[in-house]
Amino acid sequence: MTDISSINGYVSSTANPASTADAAKTLSADMNTFLTLLTTQLKYQDPLDPTDTSEFTSQLVQYSSVEQAIQTNQKLDKLLSMNNSNLGAQAVSYIGKVAQVLGDVMPLENGQAVATYTLDKDVLSTAIMVKDSGGNIVYTENGNKVAGTHYFKWNGKDKDGNQLQDGAYQVIVTTSTGDGETAANVVTTVLGKVTGVASDSNGVYIGLGDSVTANLSDILTIRDGGFFDDNNSSAEAENTTSDTSTASIIGEVVDTVVDAAATAATVLTL
CA angle at residue 188 from 232 to 202, to 5 degrees? 110
Give yes or no for residue 55 having a pLDDT over 90.
no
- What pLDDT does residue 50 have? 60
**How far is it, in rounded angstroms, from Cα 79 to Cα 85?**
10
Residue-wise pLDDT tens digits, 182-230:
889 999 999 999 998 887 777 788 899 888 999 888 999 998 877 777 6
Percent composition of the chain: helix, strand, coil (DSSP 3-state, to 5): 40, 30, 30
The letter for the amino acid at 37 is L
Give yes or no for residue 108 having a pLDDT over 90.
yes
What would the mean pLDDT of 230-255 be, rounded to a whole number?
Answer: 39
- What pLDDT does residue 107 have? 95
| Domain residue ranges of the chain, discontinuous segments joined by + | 17-92, 98-229
Just give the CATH number of 98-229: 2.60.40.4070
* CB-count burial class (<10 Å; 0-12, 13-18, 19+) for 115: buried
Q: Which residues contact 243 (CB under 8 A, 6 or more apart)?
A: none
CA angle at residue 218 from 74 to 199, to 5 degrees? 45
- Band of pLDDT at residue 11, cut at 50, 70 and 90: very low
What would the mean pLDDT of 123-149 be, rounded to a whole number?
Answer: 95
